[in-house]
Structure 1
Amino acid sequence: MIIVDRPEVLVVGYAVRTSAAAEADPALARSPGLWARAGAPGAFAHVPGRVDENLYAVLTDYESAGRGAYTQIVGTAVHTAARLPEGMVAVRVPGVPAMLFEARGPMPDALRDAWQQVGKHVESGAAPARAFTTDLEIHHLGGVDLYVATLPSFGDPTGPIPVVPPIPPAQPA
Protein backbone atom coordinates (compact mmCIF):
# COMPACT_ATOMS: atom_id res chain seq x y z
CA MET A 1 0.00 0.00 0.00
CA ILE A 2 1.20 3.47 -0.89
CA ILE A 3 -0.40 6.90 -0.48
CA VAL A 4 -1.19 8.72 -3.72
CA ASP A 5 -3.22 11.69 -4.89
CA ARG A 6 -6.05 9.98 -6.73
CA PRO A 7 -7.09 12.08 -9.72
CA GLU A 8 -10.71 13.03 -10.26
CA VAL A 9 -12.63 10.80 -12.66
CA LEU A 10 -16.17 10.82 -14.06
CA VAL A 11 -17.78 7.37 -14.30
CA VAL A 12 -20.95 6.37 -16.15
CA GLY A 13 -22.43 2.97 -15.43
CA TYR A 14 -24.97 0.81 -13.66
CA ALA A 15 -25.64 1.19 -9.92
CA VAL A 16 -26.97 -0.87 -7.03
CA ARG A 17 -27.47 -0.13 -3.34
CA THR A 18 -26.24 -3.01 -1.20
CA SER A 19 -24.36 -3.88 2.01
CA ALA A 20 -21.65 -6.30 3.10
CA ALA A 21 -24.29 -8.36 4.91
CA ALA A 22 -26.44 -8.60 1.77
CA GLU A 23 -23.43 -9.52 -0.37
CA ALA A 24 -22.55 -12.34 2.04
CA ASP A 25 -25.95 -13.97 1.33
CA PRO A 26 -26.20 -15.33 -2.24
CA ALA A 27 -29.99 -14.89 -2.15
CA LEU A 28 -29.64 -11.15 -1.39
CA ALA A 29 -26.40 -10.29 -3.20
CA ARG A 30 -26.83 -7.60 -5.85
CA SER A 31 -23.20 -7.22 -6.98
CA PRO A 32 -23.04 -10.43 -9.09
CA GLY A 33 -25.91 -9.20 -11.27
CA LEU A 34 -24.34 -5.75 -11.53
CA TRP A 35 -20.99 -7.21 -12.60
CA ALA A 36 -22.65 -9.60 -15.07
CA ARG A 37 -24.45 -6.68 -16.70
CA ALA A 38 -21.36 -4.44 -16.74
CA GLY A 39 -19.06 -7.23 -17.89
CA ALA A 40 -21.19 -8.27 -20.85
CA PRO A 41 -19.44 -7.77 -24.21
CA GLY A 42 -20.12 -4.27 -25.51
CA ALA A 43 -21.90 -3.16 -22.31
CA PHE A 44 -20.42 0.34 -22.59
CA ALA A 45 -19.72 0.54 -26.33
CA HIS A 46 -22.61 3.00 -26.76
CA VAL A 47 -21.41 5.36 -24.00
CA PRO A 48 -20.11 8.55 -25.64
CA GLY A 49 -16.78 10.11 -24.63
CA ARG A 50 -15.17 7.05 -23.06
CA VAL A 51 -11.64 7.58 -21.73
CA ASP A 52 -10.39 3.98 -22.06
CA GLU A 53 -11.48 0.33 -22.10
CA ASN A 54 -11.07 -0.27 -18.35
CA LEU A 55 -13.94 -1.10 -15.99
CA TYR A 56 -14.36 1.28 -13.06
CA ALA A 57 -16.09 0.31 -9.83
CA VAL A 58 -17.07 3.17 -7.53
CA LEU A 59 -18.10 2.50 -3.93
CA THR A 60 -19.75 5.50 -2.31
CA ASP A 61 -22.57 6.78 -0.10
CA TYR A 62 -21.39 4.68 2.83
CA GLU A 63 -24.07 4.55 5.52
CA SER A 64 -21.79 4.10 8.53
CA ALA A 65 -18.05 3.50 8.26
CA GLY A 66 -18.49 0.43 6.09
CA ARG A 67 -20.95 -1.39 8.34
CA GLY A 68 -24.17 -0.38 6.59
CA ALA A 69 -25.40 0.11 3.08
CA TYR A 70 -23.35 1.62 0.27
CA THR A 71 -23.79 2.30 -3.44
CA GLN A 72 -21.72 0.51 -6.04
CA ILE A 73 -21.48 1.80 -9.61
CA VAL A 74 -19.71 -0.26 -12.27
CA GLY A 75 -19.00 1.48 -15.53
CA THR A 76 -16.57 3.32 -17.72
CA ALA A 77 -14.64 6.57 -17.30
CA VAL A 78 -15.84 9.38 -19.56
CA HIS A 79 -14.77 12.90 -20.48
CA THR A 80 -18.32 14.24 -20.03
CA ALA A 81 -21.71 12.85 -19.06
CA ALA A 82 -23.86 15.12 -21.20
CA ARG A 83 -26.04 12.27 -22.46
CA LEU A 84 -26.59 9.30 -20.16
CA PRO A 85 -27.66 6.05 -21.77
CA GLU A 86 -30.96 4.74 -20.41
CA GLY A 87 -30.62 2.95 -17.08
CA MET A 88 -27.19 4.41 -16.31
CA VAL A 89 -26.02 6.95 -13.75
CA ALA A 90 -23.03 9.29 -13.63
CA VAL A 91 -20.83 9.83 -10.59
CA ARG A 92 -17.92 12.22 -10.17
CA VAL A 93 -15.18 10.57 -8.12
CA PRO A 94 -13.29 13.42 -6.47
CA GLY A 95 -9.53 13.65 -6.53
CA VAL A 96 -8.34 12.96 -2.98
CA PRO A 97 -5.43 11.43 -1.10
CA ALA A 98 -5.90 7.65 -1.20
CA MET A 99 -4.25 4.39 -0.23
CA LEU A 100 -3.39 2.43 -3.38
CA PHE A 101 -3.56 -1.35 -3.20
CA GLU A 102 -2.53 -3.25 -6.34
CA ALA A 103 -4.40 -6.52 -6.86
CA ARG A 104 -2.49 -8.80 -9.19
CA GLY A 105 -3.03 -12.46 -9.98
CA PRO A 106 -6.13 -14.61 -10.39
CA MET A 107 -9.36 -12.67 -9.92
CA PRO A 108 -11.49 -12.31 -7.91
CA ASP A 109 -9.18 -13.76 -5.24
CA ALA A 110 -6.48 -11.09 -5.70
CA LEU A 111 -9.07 -8.30 -5.33
CA ARG A 112 -10.62 -9.99 -2.30
CA ASP A 113 -7.12 -10.15 -0.75
CA ALA A 114 -6.61 -6.42 -1.42
CA TRP A 115 -9.91 -5.57 0.31
CA GLN A 116 -8.87 -7.79 3.25
CA GLN A 117 -5.66 -5.71 3.49
CA VAL A 118 -7.86 -2.60 3.64
CA GLY A 119 -9.89 -4.16 6.46
CA LYS A 120 -6.76 -5.08 8.42
CA HIS A 121 -5.43 -1.54 8.00
CA VAL A 122 -8.69 -0.04 9.30
CA GLU A 123 -8.85 -2.49 12.24
CA SER A 124 -5.26 -1.69 13.22
CA GLY A 125 -6.05 1.99 13.59
CA ALA A 126 -2.91 2.86 11.61
CA ALA A 127 -2.58 6.12 9.74
CA PRO A 128 -3.88 7.22 7.39
CA ALA A 129 -7.46 6.64 8.45
CA ARG A 130 -9.97 5.48 5.88
CA ALA A 131 -12.47 8.21 4.97
CA PHE A 132 -15.44 6.01 3.91
CA THR A 133 -16.39 8.58 1.28
CA THR A 134 -15.71 7.34 -2.26
CA ASP A 135 -13.43 4.43 -3.14
CA LEU A 136 -12.44 3.37 -6.65
CA GLU A 137 -11.38 0.14 -8.34
CA ILE A 138 -9.85 0.37 -11.82
CA HIS A 139 -9.99 -3.03 -13.54
CA HIS A 140 -7.44 -3.32 -16.38
CA LEU A 141 -5.55 -6.07 -18.20
CA GLY A 142 -2.82 -6.20 -15.53
CA GLY A 143 -5.20 -6.54 -12.57
CA VAL A 144 -7.01 -4.04 -10.36
CA ASP A 145 -5.83 -0.78 -8.80
CA LEU A 146 -7.83 -0.16 -5.62
CA TYR A 147 -7.91 3.45 -4.37
CA VAL A 148 -9.27 3.86 -0.83
CA ALA A 149 -9.95 7.46 0.19
CA THR A 150 -8.22 8.66 3.35
CA LEU A 151 -8.92 11.36 5.89
CA PRO A 152 -6.61 14.37 5.75
CA SER A 153 -3.58 14.27 8.00
CA PHE A 154 -3.45 17.52 9.95
CA GLY A 155 -0.23 16.67 11.76
CA ASP A 156 1.87 16.59 8.59
CA PRO A 157 1.65 19.85 6.62
CA THR A 158 2.08 19.47 2.89
CA GLY A 159 3.92 22.73 2.41
CA PRO A 160 6.00 25.26 4.27
CA ILE A 161 4.42 27.07 7.16
CA PRO A 162 4.09 30.72 6.16
CA VAL A 163 6.07 33.24 8.15
CA VAL A 164 3.94 36.12 9.35
CA PRO A 165 5.87 39.34 9.95
CA PRO A 166 5.42 40.96 13.36
CA ILE A 167 2.89 43.74 13.60
CA PRO A 168 4.71 47.08 13.97
CA PRO A 169 3.92 49.07 17.11
CA ALA A 170 1.30 51.76 16.75
CA GLN A 171 2.67 55.25 16.12
CA PRO A 172 1.48 58.04 18.41
CA ALA A 173 -0.92 60.41 16.72
Structure 2
Amino acid sequence: MGIQKIKSFCVIGISVRTTNENGQAGQDIPALWNKFMAEGITEKIPNKFDDTLFCVYTDYEKDHTKPYTTILGCKVENLSNIPNGMVGKTFEEAEYEKFVAKGDIFQGMVFDEWTKIWNSDLDRTYTADFEVYGEKAQNPKNAEVDIFIAVK
Protein backbone atom coordinates (compact mmCIF):
# COMPACT_ATOMS: atom_id res chain seq x y z
CA MET A 1 0.00 0.00 0.00
CA GLY A 2 3.00 2.27 0.26
CA ILE A 3 5.08 3.77 3.01
CA GLN A 4 3.90 6.85 4.89
CA LYS A 5 5.41 8.97 7.61
CA ILE A 6 3.17 9.23 10.67
CA LYS A 7 3.78 11.99 13.18
CA SER A 8 4.24 11.31 16.87
CA PHE A 9 0.99 10.47 18.68
CA CYS A 10 -0.27 9.43 22.12
CA VAL A 11 -2.68 6.67 23.11
CA ILE A 12 -4.44 6.00 26.41
CA GLY A 13 -6.14 2.67 27.03
CA ILE A 14 -5.75 -0.70 28.67
CA SER A 15 -2.95 -3.15 27.96
CA VAL A 16 -1.75 -6.72 28.21
CA ARG A 17 1.71 -8.26 27.86
CA THR A 18 1.43 -11.27 25.58
CA THR A 19 3.18 -13.44 23.02
CA ASN A 20 2.26 -15.24 19.80
CA GLU A 21 3.95 -18.37 21.18
CA ASN A 22 1.56 -21.28 21.80
CA GLY A 23 -1.39 -19.18 20.64
CA GLN A 24 -1.27 -17.08 23.82
CA ALA A 25 -2.11 -13.79 22.03
CA GLY A 26 -5.17 -15.54 20.56
CA GLN A 27 -6.52 -15.70 24.12
CA ASP A 28 -5.08 -12.52 25.65
CA ILE A 29 -6.03 -10.03 22.91
CA PRO A 30 -9.71 -11.09 22.59
CA ALA A 31 -9.91 -10.96 26.42
CA LEU A 32 -8.51 -7.40 26.29
CA TRP A 33 -11.15 -6.42 23.68
CA ASN A 34 -13.90 -8.00 25.79
CA LYS A 35 -12.80 -6.07 28.87
CA PHE A 36 -12.53 -2.84 26.84
CA MET A 37 -16.08 -3.19 25.51
CA ALA A 38 -17.68 -4.56 28.69
CA GLU A 39 -16.24 -1.76 30.87
CA GLY A 40 -16.96 1.04 28.37
CA ILE A 41 -13.30 2.10 28.39
CA THR A 42 -13.76 4.45 25.40
CA GLU A 43 -16.00 6.69 27.51
CA LYS A 44 -13.43 6.85 30.32
CA ILE A 45 -10.48 8.06 28.20
CA PRO A 46 -9.80 11.80 28.71
CA ASN A 47 -8.60 14.24 26.02
CA LYS A 48 -9.37 11.88 23.14
CA PHE A 49 -9.72 13.21 19.61
CA ASP A 50 -12.64 10.90 18.78
CA ASP A 51 -13.90 7.34 19.34
CA THR A 52 -11.59 5.74 16.75
CA LEU A 53 -9.99 2.71 18.39
CA PHE A 54 -6.27 2.04 18.19
CA CYS A 55 -4.86 -1.39 18.92
CA VAL A 56 -1.10 -0.88 19.29
CA TYR A 57 1.57 -3.56 19.48
CA THR A 58 4.76 -2.28 21.11
CA ASP A 59 7.60 -3.01 23.53
CA TYR A 60 8.62 -6.01 21.43
CA GLU A 61 11.18 -8.18 23.21
CA LYS A 62 12.69 -9.03 19.81
CA ASP A 63 10.19 -9.59 16.98
CA HIS A 64 6.65 -10.93 16.53
CA THR A 65 7.67 -14.36 17.84
CA LYS A 66 8.63 -13.00 21.29
CA PRO A 67 6.63 -11.18 24.02
CA TYR A 68 5.17 -7.72 23.32
CA THR A 69 2.61 -5.34 24.79
CA THR A 70 -0.80 -4.72 23.25
CA ILE A 71 -2.52 -1.41 24.10
CA LEU A 72 -6.18 -0.96 23.18
CA GLY A 73 -7.40 2.62 23.42
CA CYS A 74 -7.86 5.98 21.73
CA LYS A 75 -5.54 8.63 20.34
CA VAL A 76 -5.37 11.54 22.79
CA GLU A 77 -4.12 15.13 22.83
CA ASN A 78 -1.72 14.47 25.73
CA LEU A 79 -0.90 12.12 28.60
CA SER A 80 -1.52 14.61 31.42
CA ASN A 81 -4.48 12.64 32.81
CA ILE A 82 -4.16 8.84 32.68
CA PRO A 83 -6.99 7.19 34.65
CA ASN A 84 -6.21 4.48 37.22
CA GLY A 85 -5.96 1.05 35.61
CA MET A 86 -5.04 2.51 32.23
CA VAL A 87 -1.76 3.16 30.46
CA GLY A 88 -0.59 6.01 28.28
CA LYS A 89 2.20 5.94 25.75
CA THR A 90 3.71 8.27 23.18
CA PHE A 91 4.78 6.82 19.85
CA GLU A 92 7.52 8.67 17.98
CA GLU A 93 7.27 9.79 14.36
CA ALA A 94 8.12 6.88 12.09
CA GLU A 95 7.73 5.35 8.65
CA TYR A 96 4.88 2.86 8.30
CA GLU A 97 3.73 0.45 5.63
CA LYS A 98 -0.07 0.48 5.46
CA PHE A 99 -2.18 -2.63 4.98
CA VAL A 100 -5.98 -2.85 4.87
CA ALA A 101 -7.89 -5.85 6.22
CA LYS A 102 -11.35 -6.16 4.66
CA GLY A 103 -14.22 -8.48 5.50
CA ASP A 104 -15.95 -9.89 8.56
CA ILE A 105 -14.13 -9.04 11.79
CA PHE A 106 -15.67 -12.10 13.46
CA GLN A 107 -14.26 -14.37 10.73
CA GLY A 108 -10.68 -13.42 11.60
CA MET A 109 -9.96 -11.05 8.72
CA VAL A 110 -7.56 -8.95 10.84
CA PHE A 111 -5.64 -12.03 11.98
CA ASP A 112 -5.51 -13.26 8.37
CA GLU A 113 -3.89 -9.96 7.33
CA TRP A 114 -1.37 -10.27 10.18
CA THR A 115 -0.49 -13.77 8.98
CA LYS A 116 0.37 -12.30 5.56
CA ILE A 117 2.47 -9.57 7.25
CA TRP A 118 4.36 -12.11 9.40
CA ASN A 119 5.11 -14.17 6.31
CA SER A 120 6.25 -11.18 4.24
CA ASP A 121 9.81 -9.89 3.86
CA LEU A 122 9.05 -6.44 5.32
CA ASP A 123 12.06 -4.79 6.95
CA ARG A 124 10.28 -4.12 10.26
CA THR A 125 11.60 -2.03 13.16
CA TYR A 126 9.44 -3.67 15.87
CA THR A 127 8.96 -0.32 17.63
CA ALA A 128 5.17 0.02 17.33
CA ASP A 129 2.62 -1.41 14.91
CA PHE A 130 -1.06 -0.56 15.12
CA GLU A 131 -4.56 -1.20 13.85
CA VAL A 132 -7.09 1.60 13.38
CA TYR A 133 -10.79 0.87 13.85
CA GLY A 134 -12.50 3.95 12.45
CA GLU A 135 -15.66 4.73 10.47
CA LYS A 136 -15.12 1.86 8.02
CA ALA A 137 -14.94 -0.67 10.87
CA GLN A 138 -18.38 0.16 12.28
CA ASN A 139 -20.12 -2.70 10.44
CA PRO A 140 -18.27 -5.81 11.71
CA LYS A 141 -19.67 -8.00 8.90
CA ASN A 142 -18.20 -5.74 6.20
CA ALA A 143 -15.35 -3.88 7.89
CA GLU A 144 -12.11 -2.22 6.85
CA VAL A 145 -9.31 -2.01 9.38
CA ASP A 146 -6.10 -0.16 8.62
CA ILE A 147 -2.92 -1.85 9.85
CA PHE A 148 0.30 0.17 10.07
CA ILE A 149 3.63 -1.63 10.35
CA ALA A 150 6.75 0.31 11.39
CA VAL A 151 9.47 -0.18 8.78
CA LYS A 152 13.10 0.80 8.36
Distance 2:6 2:150 in 1: 8
By how many angstroms is 1:41 displaced? 6.5
By how many angstroms is 1:131 displaced? 1.0
Secondary structure (helix, strand or coil) at the match of 1:77 reads strand
- The one-letter code matched in structure 2 to 1:106 is D
Secondary structure (helix, strand or coil) at the match of 1:65 reads coil
- The one-letter code matched in structure 2 to 1:139 is Y
Report the equivalent of 1:82. Answer: 80
By how many angstroms is 1:25 displaced? 4.7
Q: Which has the higher helix share?
A: 2
Q: TM-score if structure 2 supplies the norm length?
A: 0.86
Report the equivalent of 1:169. Answer: none
CA shift in 2, pair 1:139/1:129, >3 Å: same
CA shift in 2, pair 1:39/1:2, >3 Å: farther
Distance 1:134 1:145 in 2: 14
Off by >4 Å, runs of 4+ in structure 1: none
CA shift in 2, pair 1:40/1:95, >3 Å: farther
By how many angstroms is 1:43 displaced? 1.8
Report the equivalent of 2:150. Answer: 149
CA shift in 2, pair 1:18/1:25, >3 Å: closer
Alignment RMSD: 1.9
Q: TM-score if structure 1 supplies the norm length?
A: 0.76
Report the equivalent of 1:99. Answer: 97
- The one-letter code matched in structure 2 to 1:140 is G
Distance 1:21 1:48 in 2: 34
Aligned length: 144
Give 1:64's match in structure 2, choosing from 54, 62, 65: 62
Secondary structure (helix, strand or coil) at the match of 2:111 reads helix
Report the equivalent of 2:113. Answer: 114
- Give per-residue Cα distances to partners, 1:33-92, cap 9 Å, x unaligned: 211112237322122211111111110111122221000010111101211111000011
Secondary structure (helix, strand or coil) at the match of 1:85 reads coil
Secondary structure (helix, strand or coil) at the match of 1:45 reads helix
| Preserved CA contact (<8 Å) 2:13 2:41 | no
- The one-letter code matched in structure 2 to 1:120 is N
Give 1:135's match in structure 2, choosing from 115, 129, 134: 129
Aligned sequence identity (%) = 28
Distance 1:52 1:41 in 2: 18
Runs of at least 5 residues in structure 2 that lack an aligned partner in the other structure: 137-143
Q: Which has the higher strand share?
A: 2
